[in-house]
Structure 1
């Protein structure tokens, strides 16, 4: 009989930051930023922490980003703050892709690499870029599974007919992010 050993638990630290789109939970491991969660209050935080605990084998620890054992958390917080003040157009924080995989990860990596600040791409365009013609719906599902929104900019993916499309953070959040990047006009109120 051979013994199989479980993978060792990985540590993770997180912080919740107030932003113009509401509180965001940012979590990081030694590899990089692993998750960004919209509407980070109550049950949303509990679900995110449960998902991270299951994926990493240990519960994440809330920490001051400057004191985190994971330097990517401090970088992510700084870059997110600068993004929302208009000082940052491209995130450089290292990313931990543990919560994504397969086709979804392939699409999200392509999105992060090829759709810059102030630009948009259609669902079908992204499907074509990853070699999946006719895969627009699958790309939509990949956007919905994105564990790193804002940093991996799924808000920049829109419908080919000019519609805004869906968004896990809510359509108003998507509108605010696109306005921040100059794609849409600023809201009047």
Structure 2
């Protein structure tokens, strides 16, 4: 490593944990430039195969996909296939399926990773924190005691104990098959 990466200057007690892969998120790469369907990752993902798209489950009107920039290992998004921005725009069938997939995500995660709790939520609009406001998505974030340690609070770094592909395989294998 260069001296720059070692923290040139006065020696201090800090170790550096470099996470250069996060710069794409910080810079907004992969974020749609418009609200159009053609520019929407949540409209493109279902056209991919499950492993490439990190899709855990496909329903009739919604699907579960791993978050490419997770807050925690196993962080899923439940997305309707239809390109809608607001929760009130969902049809009754879409609302029911988004709720059912969210419940199943929690049950599956409990079975395979035993989280102590969950954060569930939708950020409606950019001012509310929606990174991709044009396509509604429900966050399902598993939580464990102590998962918010000093790294994210002080070091602005989140350690992820498992690769996204491995997490997808584990959750998809444990997800019950659809019963028509």
- TM-score normalised by L of structure 2: 0.26
Tell me which of the two structures has the higher relative contact order, counting C-alpha pairs closer than 8 angstroms and 6 or more residues apart. 2
Larger radius of gyration: 2
- TM-score normalised by L of structure 1: 0.26
